[in-house]
Structure 1
Amino acid sequence: MEQMTKSNRLIERVQRRLALAVWGRALFVSFVISASLYLALMLFSRLTGYWTGWFPLESISSVAIGTLVLSAILFRRPDREQAARLIDQRQGTKDLFLTVTMLEQAVGNYKPLVAQDAEKQAQKIKPSQVVEFAWAKRVGWVCASTLVLFLTLQYAPQLDPFGEVQAAETEQEKVKEFQKEKKATKARMAELKNKDNGAGDEESKDVKLAVENLKSDFRKMTPGKKQENAKTLAGHQKSLGGKWRQRAEENMKSMMMKADQAQKFGGMSKDDGMKKWSKELQEGSTQSLTKEMDELKDQLQRLMKEKDPVKREKLQNEIQKKLKEMESFAREQTSSKPMAAALKRAMKQMQMAQSKGLSPEEAFKEAMESMDLAKMELKEVAQSAKDMKKLEEALKVLQMAKKANDKSGLDGEACENCMTLEDYEELYAEMMGGEMPGEGTGNEGQGGGGKVDEDDTGDKGFKTEKSKSAITAGKVLLSFKSKGLSVSGEAKKNYNKLVTDLKQGMSEAIMQEQIPPGYHDGIKKYFNSLEKKTDENTPQK
């Protein structure tokens, strides 16, 4: 068998070329099958609107993957007998090389003759003459088919006879919005965690520092230097007033004004729960609202575990209703846009639990994250309330210090043990003396409002004179109309309208911070007294 080297080498080379040819044919057949199936499914999707998410531009790579997988299944490697038979067929050697593959098992004296003849023929035969690679035509078909698939995928119109495309686009938009809001929640939570706020019942650090600087300058006041003292106090007044306005604009102004108007201008709150929330927030407390939010989180966890569809729907409606109430309170009463946005985001995420592109567990989990963010925003609102209260207290004491400085000057050493604003308030009240509230009769100070007895005896020094003021055209204060019966209730109606307009204008002035906080209560009491007198003077029917 050592004399059959050329014959065996020829068979092996033909076998390798035949294997490549068979694999190439399998690839081509697999490509035709994969491309045809892809084209059919894509056209079905474009015509009906179903499975639109299956066919983005990169989906065309599935044809190549399908071709490789299918060709691996269809490929069968040829053996030596197949290669030898092909040589005999193509070269007309009458089964000579097929016989060579069987000589090892054959019996007889003819084997040397067969081997000698096969060696002579092997010298004349080239493997390329037996197996020719006709790849150019098939490669052309593959390239043309791929181009057709690409153009069809890019430019074939998308029909939507059953509304499936619109529904799928809506779901995709929901998923994108969900992911966007998820990132926004995480970013805002990180921002609030890094924010420098006060701890517990204390005001924030910047307000605390401003108040401490004010008290420090109180201790540095020098007697006999009224101008320098006034300049220092004016600087603090500007700084503290700016901080107060900043917090009022951010969160608390609308809530505090609406609550005060509802209580002191005769209005009523829409809901007792919201009224309680508003009152607590003005005092810097979040106890009731935090408790409500914790209960909502517990209900969300129960909703995730609930399997009964009826109970599940009922529980979800309850949660949505409470979230809507809280969102309305945050938006209308506190004017805290971040808190309202977090609660609104929680409602949306609960609704997204029914979306096809999201799992209910993921949606409910993010809703609870938004609830945690709302709690953090609530603490921000409460912190602003604490800061505003402290700033108003500081501004009040500062105003007293300015009056005391104008009257007799300030001495920083007058109160060695003064540590708090209350201590300085008491000090300046003593320094102002007669400007403090008095008993109402007999002593100096502002009276208590009681009736003072009058004595008409004695010379009061009154003189009867006529003013020499120039008479000029001005606003009509009084006019007379023709005789006749007046319309019943017309005067009262005009009076009430005038009072209402004045109240509205004063309310707007308070909202726009045109009036210092110290005058708010007195103004509101005055208008309440006008309404009370009107009701008392109204004749009973």
Structure 2
Amino acid sequence: MKQITKSTRLIDRVQQRLALAVWGRKVFVSFCISLGIYLTAMLFSRFTGYLTDWFTLPSLAVVAVGTLVLSFILFRKPDKEQAARLIDQKQKTKDLFLTVTMLEKAIGNYKPLVIQDAEQQATKIQPAQVVPFVWAKRFSLCCSAGLILFLLLEYTPQYDPFGKVQAAEVEQEKVKEFQTTKKATKARLAELKNKDNGENDEESKEVKLAVENLKSDFRKMVPGKKQKNAEALAAHQKSLGGQWRKRAEENMKSMMMKTDQAQKFGGMSKAEGMQKWNKELQEGSTQSLMKEMEELKDQLQRLQKETDPVKREQLKNEIQKKMKEMESFAREQTNSKPMAAALKRAMKQMQMAQSKGIPQDEALREAMQSMDLAKMELKEIAQSAKDLKKLEEALTVLSKAKKANDKSGLDGEACENCLTLEDYEDLYSQLMGDMQGEGTGGEGQGGGGKVDEDDTGDKGFKTEKSKSAITAGKVLLSFKTKGLSDRGEAQKDYNKLFTDLKQGMSEAIMQEQIPPGYHEGIKKYFNSLEKKTEENATGK
């Protein structure tokens, strides 16, 4: 076959170009088919509201993929005989090259003549003349069709005759919200786990360090150096007072205000339950609340396994009610926004278990995760209450230390065995009690007796008119008449006055206008008044 190399090479090159040309035509046909199918489906989606999630901008890649796949399915590679026949047809060589492809199987003495003629003709023929590539027109048509499809995809309005689009949007928003709640819970859990809050101690690490520094400076007090001692005590008062205000602003108002609602929570009234929880939290205990949260978590696990629709709905309503009431307690009573947010997320995640786009098990699992977060937030609240109590104790001792220093000075070596704040409080109370004065200008506790007065001399008094605001004062004259009074007006005025006084007292405490030693007594006083008012109202 060395004698017919030129003819064979020509046929091979024409075969290659013919294969490319055939595949190009198949690509064009496949593109038209894919584009038609995509356009039909897209218009169906736009006008009916079905399959709206499918037709986004990235979905145009389906047309390209479909074109390639379909073109390979439809493509059939041309053989040498087809290439030779095309050469003969285009160059009018009367089946010369077709005969060349059959010489191996042919019988006769005419082979040399055929080879000679074919070799001569092969030098004159270019493969591009036989199979020219005409692609520009089809390529421009494909580009135009693709552009039109893009414009239709972007600007064809979406109709929703069956409400499918609206329902899909609602589900999509739920999925986004669910993912957001997952991230928020995960981030907060990581933050609390990395935080060293001294949960195994009576107070946090920060408060413990501040108290230890205070006791250390108590031991460093130098007799006869009142000014230096006073400066050290003032610095501690500023530091401890700042920490106290920070924690008091977070939970003091809510801890001192009690709910007057009478809804039910489990087997007890909501008011009784909240009062119990409030009291425990003020003492730094979370036993009752932790028990309620554990029960809620157990109920969530039961809900995850329950298959009966009726029992499942009842259990879900019960869990949701308890979560809502506990979230209300966290928000209104403890003023803990993080704990309220965790419980609110747990409620939402439990409700999202019914969404189509969210797996039910995953939603309930995340709800239990949020309950774990709420438990950790509860520990933070209890720790804050412990810190507040410890800081009040430190400020009380500090106040006594300042008074003792103002009177006779302090000696750091006066109490070698003082280890706790209680020890120092006993020491300074004893020092204050031992100071006896003459009652007329001397230091210490006065002995009483009458002090001489001298009315002579210029006292510098000035006669001025007060610029005080005119307010309601003493009633000078009143008339009594028979008639019906406005129902509940007196009780309403009393409740308003009581609330205003209580609010003002809370603000005064937070502004350090009332010494820490009086806080507990004030709380008990207002609580007793409120309890008495409730008893009177019940008696009526």
Fold shared by both chains (TM-score > 0.5)? yes
Instruction: After superposition, give the CA deviation of every residue in 1:461-508 in whole Å (9 maximum; x if it has no partner).
Output: xxxxxxxx99999864232234x5466889x975x6675454323211
- Alpha carbons of 1:247 and 1:485: their partners in 2 closer, same or farther (altered >3 Å)? same
Between the aligned partners of 1:525 and 1:106, the Cα distance in structure 2 is 122
- Alpha carbons of 1:472 and 1:323: their partners in 2 closer, same or farther (altered >3 Å)? same
Between the aligned partners of 1:401 and 1:359, the Cα distance in structure 2 is 63
| 1:372 counterpart residue number | 372
Matches within 5 A, 1:433-448: 433=433
Cα contact 1:509–1:515 (8 A) shared by 2: no
| 2:335 counterpart residue number | 335
Cα contact 1:510–1:520 (8 A) shared by 2: no
Cα contact 2:48–2:161 (8 A) shared by 1: yes
| 2:506 counterpart residue number | 511
How much has 1:134 moved relative to structure 2? 1.4
- Alpha carbons of 1:418 and 1:95: their partners in 2 closer, same or farther (altered >3 Å)? same
SS in 2 for 1:192: helix
Match of 1:477 among 470, 474, 477: 474
- Alpha carbons of 1:204 and 1:163: their partners in 2 closer, same or farther (altered >3 Å)? same
Residue type of the alignment partner of 2:503? E
Instruction: After superposition, give the CA deviation of every residue in 1:405-445 in whole Å (9 maximum; x if it has no partner).
Output: 3444332222110100111122222223289xxxxxxxxx9
Cα contact 2:349–2:364 (8 A) shared by 1: yes
Cα contact 1:269–1:275 (8 A) shared by 2: no
Between the aligned partners of 1:536 and 1:357, the Cα distance in structure 2 is 53
Between the aligned partners of 1:537 and 1:303, the Cα distance in structure 2 is 44
- Alpha carbons of 1:341 and 1:30: their partners in 2 closer, same or farther (altered >3 Å)? same
How much has 1:526 moved relative to structure 2? 5.7
Moved more, 290-299 or 208-217: 290-299
How many positions carry a matched residue from both structures? 503
Residue type of the alignment partner of 1:65? V
SS in 1 for 2:422: helix
SS in 2 for 1:198: coil
Residue type of the alignment partner of 2:27? L
Instruction: After superposition, give the CA deviation of every residue in 1:359-378 in whole Å (9 maximum; x if it has no partner).
Output: 22332232222222212211
Cα contact 1:30–1:68 (8 A) shared by 2: yes
Between the aligned partners of 2:528 and 2:276, the Cα distance in structure 1 is 26
Residue type of the alignment partner of 1:479? L
Cα contact 1:28–1:138 (8 A) shared by 2: yes
Residue type of the alignment partner of 2:389? K
Residue type of the alignment partner of 1:68? L
Between the two proteins, what is the percent identity of the paired residues? 70
| 2:392 counterpart residue number | 392
Between the aligned partners of 1:190 and 1:498, the Cα distance in structure 2 is 49
- Alpha carbons of 1:277 and 1:424: their partners in 2 closer, same or farther (altered >3 Å)? same
Residue type of the alignment partner of 1:511? S
Matches within 5 A, 1:93-492: 93-250=93-250, 252-259=251-258, 270-433=270-433, 476-482=473-479, 484-485=480-481
Cα contact 1:15–1:80 (8 A) shared by 2: yes
Residue type of the alignment partner of 1:518? G
How much has 1:80 moved relative to structure 2? 1.1
In the alignment, does 2:56 pair up with 1:61? no
Between the aligned partners of 1:183 and 1:375, the Cα distance in structure 2 is 18
SS in 2 for 1:105: coil
SS in 2 for 1:411: coil
- Alpha carbons of 1:30 and 1:119: their partners in 2 closer, same or farther (altered >3 Å)? same
Residue type of the alignment partner of 1:149? L
How much has 1:130 moved relative to structure 2? 1.9
Instruction: After superposition, give the CA deviation of every residue in 1:189-232 in whole Å (9 maximum; x if it has no partner).
Output: 22222223113132111111111122122222233444443333
How much has 1:116 moved relative to structure 2? 2.7
Residue type of the alignment partner of 2:433? G
Cα contact 1:86–1:130 (8 A) shared by 2: yes
Moved more, 398-407 or 420-429: 398-407
How much has 1:186 moved relative to structure 2? 2.1
| 2:442 counterpart residue number | none
Alpha carbon RMSD of aligned pairs, Å?
Answer: 3.6
SS in 2 for 1:103: coil
Instruction: After superposition, give the CA deviation of every residue in 1:8-41 in whole Å (9 maximum; x if it has no partner).
Output: 1121111111100110011000100111111111
| 2:448 counterpart residue number | none
Between the aligned partners of 2:338 and 2:81, the Cα distance in structure 1 is 81
Between the aligned partners of 1:312 and 1:352, the Cα distance in structure 2 is 15
Between the aligned partners of 1:322 and 1:527, the Cα distance in structure 2 is 29
Between the aligned partners of 2:402 and 2:282, the Cα distance in structure 1 is 28
Instruction: After superposition, give the CA deviation of every residue in 1:221-266 in whole Å (9 maximum; x if it has no partner).
Output: 233444443333333222212211101112x21342124999xxxx
Residue type of the alignment partner of 1:131? V
Cα contact 2:256–2:523 (8 A) shared by 1: no
- Alpha carbons of 1:301 and 1:537: their partners in 2 closer, same or farther (altered >3 Å)? closer
Between the aligned partners of 1:143 and 1:215, the Cα distance in structure 2 is 84
- Alpha carbons of 1:57 and 1:533: their partners in 2 closer, same or farther (altered >3 Å)? closer
Cα contact 1:7–1:122 (8 A) shared by 2: yes
For normalisation by structure 1, the TM-score amounts to 0.83
- Alpha carbons of 1:77 and 1:532: their partners in 2 closer, same or farther (altered >3 Å)? closer
Cα contact 1:172–1:357 (8 A) shared by 2: yes
Between the aligned partners of 1:246 and 1:339, the Cα distance in structure 2 is 18
Instruction: After superposition, give the CA deviation of every residue in 1:37-94 in whole Å (9 maximum; x if it has no partner).
Output: 1111111122122222112222212211111111111111111121122222223333
Moved more, 421-430 or 524-533: 524-533
Cα contact 1:31–1:66 (8 A) shared by 2: yes
Cα contact 2:259–2:271 (8 A) shared by 1: no
Between the aligned partners of 2:489 and 2:56, the Cα distance in structure 1 is 71
Between the aligned partners of 2:284 and 2:425, the Cα distance in structure 1 is 23
Between the aligned partners of 2:255 and 2:529, the Cα distance in structure 1 is 23
Unaligned runs of 5+ in 2: 262-267, 436-444, 446-461
- Alpha carbons of 1:13 and 1:186: their partners in 2 closer, same or farther (altered >3 Å)? same
Cα contact 1:327–1:344 (8 A) shared by 2: yes
Residue type of the alignment partner of 1:243? Q
For normalisation by structure 2, the TM-score amounts to 0.83
SS in 2 for 1:416: coil
Cα contact 1:254–1:511 (8 A) shared by 2: yes
- Alpha carbons of 1:366 and 1:536: their partners in 2 closer, same or farther (altered >3 Å)? closer
- Alpha carbons of 1:117 and 1:258: their partners in 2 closer, same or farther (altered >3 Å)? same
Residue type of the alignment partner of 1:509? G
| 1:38 counterpart residue number | 38
